[in-house]
Structure formats: C-alpha cells, structure tokens
C-alpha cells in the first residue's frame, strides 16, 4: 500500500517536473527554431527517453476511489496529448493548448462556447467547411453568422449587432489569401466586448502569432503545417484567457472530440521540423508565385509576399513569411483548368495543404464546393481559380511541372 502511494506521488512529481521544464523553456524565451524542436516535452524523467511515450490506454487504475495520479480516463487526459497541448501553447505563446480530433472539431468547440441568440462576425472568405459548420449546423441551434470582407474599412462595424459575441478571422484566408489586420480588429472587437478568434492554419505559429497581436483564441487544423506530413487529421486551440481555457477544457471532456494518442505523437513529431519546413515552403512558394505572375497563361496570382498583393504591407508587418499557399486564376475556362489539373506530375491533385509534398486543387469543385454558388462568385472562387500548396521539393522541378501542365491545358 505504502509503495503504491509512493509510486503515485512520484508519478505526480515526474509530470510536474515535465511541466516545470516546459514553463522554464518559455521563460527562457528561446528562439523559434529551438522552440519547435523542444516545445512540450523535455524528456521522460523516468527513462530519459527523448520523445513522449505513446500512452495507449483508455483508463488508469486508481489506488482507492478518487485517489489517483491525476489521470482518470483518457477522454479527459492522456500524457501524450498533454505533451502536444503544451507544445501548441508554447509555440503560440499562450497558457493553454487544447487538442482535438480535427481542425473542424476545434472550430466547433469554440462556437460551442456561445449561447443561443449570440451572433458571430466572420471574414467572408474562410475554409468551406468552416462556413458549412457555421451555417448548416450552428445556425440551426439559434446562433447567427454574418460574413463580411474584413479588408474593407468599416465592414466589421457594419456587420456588428448588439448580440455580437465573437469575431472570426482567418488570415490569410482560404483560398483567396486576403489578410486582416489582427491587432486593429482585436482592439475594435474588444471595445464591443467580443472575443477574437484567429484561424492560423495557413501560416502556423512559425510565421504568425495572433495572441501576441491581441486575439483571444488561436485555432489550427494541425492536419496541415503543424503535422506537416499528411498522415494525421487534428486540431488545436490556444488561449491565455483562463475563463476561455476552462470552458474549452470542459467542452473537450464533455463533447469528447479528442485526438488519439498516436495522432498526438505524430503531430508532435512533425512540429519538431516545423521551422525548417516553413522556411522552405516560404521560399519555394515565393519563387513559384513570381514565376506564375509573369506566365502568359495566368491572369492573376495571389501570394501575400508579392508586391502586387493588396495587403502586402500588412503581410510584411504582421507575419514572418508568406507561407506555402499560392492561388491563381488561369486564362480560359473550366475545361482548361481541368486539363491543367489532370496534367501535373509532381503536384498531387488533392484537398488539404501544408504537407511536405506539393498539392494542387480546384476550390470551386473541391474544398469550397459547399459554399453556395452565388457566394463563390462574389468571393471570386471562379472555374479557373487554382490553389497550390507548395511543398518542400526542389523548386525547379515544381516550376517545370507547372509549366508543362500549363502547356498541356490549352
């Protein structure tokens, strides 16, 4: 009996030591590359293992009813998930990270913080699935949503109502890469007692930290750059507001939209190379954007670090890089776009983004098919709009691939 209690006590100390190390790392304010490698786990105190163990368990034995190690049931807590959540919090500069089974589950969880009757102001050009869950799921439950172009001065105020509680920003947006001034909008939303959420999926914490700019919640589809290898689906929310963290933890446990331990491990492993991957994504994407911008078959190329981007100056001050996504409109019609997308050899024609391999997709038919056609037209999601997720391959190979597919498309 005494040994078992001692074991429980030692386990608690070990996990506290792990957390303490994480806090110390944060205090040291290490630089981004170092933080990506070490965030969330500083070695297993028992064995010295460098990587977090994968705890494949649904439950934990208790010494006596209510006497336990702090781990009771795996929906509520799992040490492998704890490590990923600590990493996310550290990278985004928040106090609390909460992990989910998908980015969509993370999005839904934030909306579940609201009450029937509340109103959300959202950027108009968000991921198709985000608009879908707002309009097709939560609107049925008494919440209302307004979609507005946050790049237009005064558009935010015009969309607000007395019952507005939340501002939803995606920056850059999916797929048009519009950018919102997070610091300015956060000030204006806070003046109206609204919470500010930023979906930071497209840039990752390596390139943009919304909490430092004034946002209250940052949300990620970790499926993308954080994992980086296209082998898990996951999501995360980070905040420094205790009240929001507590409510999100309660929801995570009550609704149960958690990731499994193996997926947490894989995502955390991916994060270790986030910094080097993002550097290559950015340099490859910028070069491809410049190549497309001068290509005779391309009408318009969008990339935040091109001088022609409407919010280029904002991109330079708000972010540390343009990211890996490039969107462009081709000349011609849907048939040309189809032939182009069928002709690529290195780029894979697939939904998703942020993995090491380059992907290409047609937003109107694929990722944003759930957006009503009228709205797609208003946003510019035309039949000839193409989105690239530029991977980390040799950029010359990627340019050659796009060039030959453009040749084949007409």
Residue 233 near ligand P1T by CB under 6 A: yes
- Beta strands 217-221; 195-199: pairing state: parallel
**Position with the least CB separation from ligand P1T:** 103
Kindly state the tokens that stand for 372: 């009503």
Question: Shortest gap between Cβ of 274 and ligand P1T (angstroms)?
Answer: 16
Residue 208 near ligand P1T by CB under 6 A: no
Strand partners, 57: none
Nearest to 178 by CA among 352, 388, 299, 325: 325
Site for ligand P1T in 51-110 (CB under 6 A): 102-104
Q: Binder to ligand P1T among 164, 221, 227, 327 (CB under 6 A)?
A: 221
Residue 325 near ligand P1T by CB under 6 A: no
Instruction: Classify residue 140 by its DSSP letter.
Output: G
Cβ distance to ligand P1T smaller for residue 77 or 224: 224
Question: Shortest gap between Cβ of 206 and ligand P1T (angstroms)?
Answer: 16
Residue 352 near ligand P1T by CB under 6 A: yes
Strand partners, 170: 199
Binding to ligand P1T by CB under 6 A, coded x per residue (else -) over 128-167, reads -xx-------------------------------------
Sole window of 63-71, 188-196, 272-280, 345-353 interacting with ligand P1T (rule: CB under 6 A): 345-353
Residue 358 near ligand P1T by CB under 6 A: no
A 10 A CB-CB count for 254 gives: 11
- Beta strands 325-330; 348-349: pairing state: unpaired
Q: Binder to ligand P1T among 42, 367, 385, 388 (CB under 6 A)?
A: 367
Question: Mapping DSSP to helix (H, G, I), strand (E, B) and coil, where does residue 308 land?
Answer: coil
Block residue for tokens 């980070």: 238
> Which residues are tagged catalytic?
75, 127, 199, 224
Q: Three-state secondary structure along 76-127?
A: CCCHHHHHHHHHHHHHHCCCEEEEECCHHHHHHHHHCCCCCCCEEEEECCCC
Question: Mapping DSSP to helix (H, G, I), strand (E, B) and coil, where does residue 207 land?
Answer: helix
Cα 34 to chain centroid, rounded:
21
Return residues touching ligand P1T (CB under 6 A): 102-104, 127, 129-130, 170, 174, 199, 201-202, 221, 223, 233, 235, 351-353, 367
């Amino acid at each position: 009996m005494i040994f078992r209690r001692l074991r429980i006590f030692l386990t608690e100390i070990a996990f506290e030591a792990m957390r303490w190390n994480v806090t110390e790392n944060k205090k040291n304010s290490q630089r981004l590359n170092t933080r990506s490698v070490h965030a969330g786990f500083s070695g297993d105190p028992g064995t010295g293992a460098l990587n977090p163990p994968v705890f494949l368990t649904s439950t934990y034995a208790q010494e006596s009813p209510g006497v336990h190690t702090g781990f009771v049931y795996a929906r509520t807590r799992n040490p492998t998930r704890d490590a990923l959540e600590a990493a996310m919090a550290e990278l985004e500069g928040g106090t609390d990270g909460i992990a989910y089974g998908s980015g969509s589950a993370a999005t839904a969880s934030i909306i579940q913080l609201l009450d029937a009757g509340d109103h959300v102001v959202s950027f108009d050009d968000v991921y198709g699935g985000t608009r879908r869950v707002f309009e097709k799921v939560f609107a049925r439950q008494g919440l209302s949503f307004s979609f507005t172009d946050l790049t237009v001065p005064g558009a935010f105020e015009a969309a607000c109502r007395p019952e507005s509680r939340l501002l939803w920003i995606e920056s850059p947006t999916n797929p048009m890469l519009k950018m919102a001034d997070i610091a300015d909008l956060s000030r204006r939303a806070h003046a109206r007692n609204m919470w500010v959420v930023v979906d930071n999926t497209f840039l990752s914490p390596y390139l943009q930290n919304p909490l430092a700019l004034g946002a209250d919640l940052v949300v990620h589809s970790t499926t993308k750059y954080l994992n980086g290898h296209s082998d898990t689906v996951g999501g995360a929310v980070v905040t420094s507001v205790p009240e929001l963290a507590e409510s999100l933890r309660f929801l995570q446990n009550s609704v149960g939209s958690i990731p499994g331990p193996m997926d947490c491990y894989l995502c955390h492993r991916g994060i270790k190379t986030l910094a080097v991957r993002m550097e290559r994504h950015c340099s490859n994407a910028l070069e491809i954007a410049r190549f497309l911008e001068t290509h005779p078959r391309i009408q318009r190329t969008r990339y935040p670090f091109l001088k022609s981007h409407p919010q280029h100056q904002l991109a330079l001050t708000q972010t540390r890089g343009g990211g890996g996504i490039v969107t462009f409109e081709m000349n011609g019609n849907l048939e040309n776009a189809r032939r182009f997308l069928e002709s690529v050899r290195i780029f894979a024609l697939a939904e998703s983004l942020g993995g090491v391999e380059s992907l290409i997709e047609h937003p109107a038919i694929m990722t944003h098919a759930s957006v009503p056609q009228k709205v797609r037209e208003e946003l510019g999601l035309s039949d000839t709009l193409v989105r690239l997720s530029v991977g980390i391959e040799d950029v010359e190979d990627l340019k050659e691939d796009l060039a030959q597919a453009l040749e084949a498309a007409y």
